[in-house]
Amino acid sequence: MPLSQIIVPLDVATETDAIALIDKLPEVTFWKVGLELFVSTGAKVVKILKERQKQVFLDLKLHDIPNTVAGASRAAARYGVDLLTIHSTCGREALKLAHKAIQQGAQESGVAPTRLIAITVLTSLSSRQLAFDLKIPLELPEYALQMALMAQESGLEGAVCSPQEVAQLKDSCGKDFLLVCPGVRPTWAETGDQKRSMTPAQAIALGADYLVIGRPITAAADPKAAWQRICDEIAQA
């Protein structure tokens, strides 16, 4: 797996902290900007990353009525981000309108279209929580598959899933359907709030296209050393 397929989250609260982390890890080419940082800094941090010729995963997990997610998707596409997330539970109409809006926003700004990918099931959720808290009667792998298939049928380029669902989704959706996997933890790291995690080597072997690896790197005493350790672990897989 090329190291450009490892996405590192900028899970910090301020622009200053974000720049400090980017400076510590110049080898990282793909960064994730999530809700906290985007709400704190707006599009400014996206602009900073693009000026440094980095790829950007704008992980906003859009979830609203069709017209609203379409408008938000169109606006996000104008930033030239590479990936954008939307919850599959918005429904088929919202997914279709958001995907169409992405193309419009990119065309208006003269940038390459953002790839819109669907959240299937948050990796912080367990099978028990899906059944007892959310009252969803399907088994978690089956539910994740149904969400991914609906996204694909709506024109989306891929989905976010835990490594545990990768093999099934690749088999059903095809090799060109992009799968982004959070919940990836090297053997020496704590799993934290990730309920369905795997090691980088395991996720790659199953067919993951991108790995999102955060706290094992960003919360390490030496982020650069942690990044290199993970790169070495993947290279040996």
- The tens place of each residue's pLDDT in the chain, 237 residues long, gives 567 889 999 999 999 999 999 999 999 999 999 999 999 999 999 999 999 999 999 999 999 999 999 999 999 999 999 999 999 999 999 999 999 999 999 999 999 999 999 999 998 888 999 999 999 999 999 999 999 999 999 999 999 999 999 999 999 999 999 999 997 888 776 655 545 568 888 898 899 999 999 999 999 999 999 999 898 888 876
Q: What is the pLDDT of residue 104?
A: 96
DSSP β-bridge partners for residue 212: 7
DSSP β-bridge partners for residue 9: 32
Q: Is 212 helix (H, G, I), strand (E, B) or coil?
A: strand
Residue whose token pair is 């040996």:
236
Report strand pairing: 6-9 vs 210-212. parallel
Residue 165 · residue 149 · CB < 8 Å: no
Q: What is the pLDDT of residue 189?
A: 65
Give the whole-angstrom CA distance, residue 77 versus residue 211: 22
Q: Which residues does the annotation mark as catalytic? A: 61
Q: Is 39 helix (H, G, I), strand (E, B) or coil?
A: helix
Q: What is the pLDDT of residue 235?
A: 80
pTM exceeds 0.85, yes or no: yes
- Domains within the chain, CATH numbers bracketed: 3-232 (3.20.20.70)
Give the whole-angstrom CA distance, residue 159 versus residue 226: 27
